[in-house]
Amino acid sequence: MRILVDMDGVLADFERGFEEAWQTAYPDLPVVPAAERRHPLVQDEYPPELRGHVHTIFHAPGFFRALPPVPGGRAALEALWALGCDVRLCTTPLLDYRHCVVEKYEWVERELGPAWLDRLILTRDKTIIRADVLIDDRPQLNGSDVPTWEHILYDQPYNRADRSKRRLTWQTWREVLFSDGA
Ligand SMILES: [Mg+2]
């Protein structure tokens, strides 16, 4: 079984990183707490006059490198690997790639270990990557192909309106992925 695992909002805690960076950069402006997020894209959570601030936060040098890991993510990847799954990291870099791309590699090396660098796929279109499963927090993933993978949502407050997909966390992945007894 080949499993694609998204990074932001799944392995890297984008929400916590964003909150902390926001509070440092704009201590006088309220941050939308992660638990209250309702939109998959953080920029949609803020009024138009603050969207430039949002953009500034996650385009800043060091933002992606500094993201804390989602607890249990590394252990789950290693367990899936040990079970014989072909696990790949599959992430969409910002089009403004200057810091994001290299920092994603740095993050993987630090948080998961250098062996995972060889398993990192950066793509703007996940639908063209062949796999059995994609674990991703974003409810809507568009691209040029009909995906071969089942999209399983990594459960987050901002994707709970989507009832059409199975969902998991790094606490429940075993039951969800292997519930058919495979
Ligand atoms: Mg994501």
**Domains of the chain from N-terminus onward:** 2-13+69-177 (3.40.50.1000), 14-59 (1.10.40)
Which residues are catalytic, by number?
6, 8
CA 30 to centroid of ligand 1, rounded, Å: 23
Q: Tell me the whole-structure pTM to 2 decimals.
A: 0.96
What distance in angstroms lies between residue 178's CA and the mean position of ligand 1's atoms?
A: 22
State the 10-residue block means of pLDDT for the chain, 182 residues long.
Answer: 98 97 96 91 94 96 98 98 98 96 98 98 98 97 97 97 97 92 47
Distance 135 CA to ligand 1 centre (A): 9
- State the pLDDT at residue 180: 65
pLDDT of res. 179: 80
Other residues' Cβ atoms within 10 Å of the Cβ of residue 111: 17
Per-residue confidence (pLDDT) for residue 181, from 0 to 100: 47
The predicted-structure confidence for 86-99, as pLDDT tens digits, reads as follows: 999 999 999 999 99
